[in-house]
Amino acid sequence: MLESYLADVKASLTASSIVKDIEVLEEFITSVSGYLECRLLMIDNSILYISEYFTIYGDEIKRDKYSYHHQKNNEFLVRWDNAPHHRELPTFPFHLHRKDGVFESKAMTLEEVLKELAEIME
């Protein structure tokens, strides 16, 4: 189950029209959990760092921790994550960091992040 999830994530990266290159920085799978960390070179020469820690929860995969950090020319642009801070936000723990602050966000998936970035890049 975890192997299939990891394969699906990698397939979505490979299939994305805005991802130019993929560098897997760290990856592991155990019988109950997994982790993927990648550095993606995007078509506009920006970088998207992704990390997901996931576990089996019943018959489903649960993404316990995630971070999708986008930058260009070493300058921070945006990051979606679910780190357990910013309890003041109604969408806690899900939030979005931008240069001008921290904002509400729904729980994001890699596919949703790529879709949002594609709207900007294409």
- Integer Cα distance of 44 and 88 in angstroms: 34
Model pTM score:
0.93
- Asked if residue 30 has pLDDT above 90, the reply is yes
Instruction: Give the length of the chain.
Output: 122
Which position has the token pair 């979505």? 12
Strand order in the sheet with 75-81: 19-29, 33-42, 47-57, 60-72, 75-81, 95-98, 101-104
Predicted local confidence at residue 94, as pLDDT: 96
- Integer Cα distance of 35 and 54 in angstroms: 6
- Asked if residue 103 has pLDDT above 90, the reply is yes
Predicted local confidence at residue 107, as pLDDT: 95
Predicted local confidence at residue 32, as pLDDT: 94
Q: What angle do CA 112, 70, 111 make, to 5 degrees?
A: 15
Instruction: Read off the pLDDT of residues 31-54 as tens digits, 9 standing for 90 and up.
Output: 999 999 999 999 999 999 999 999
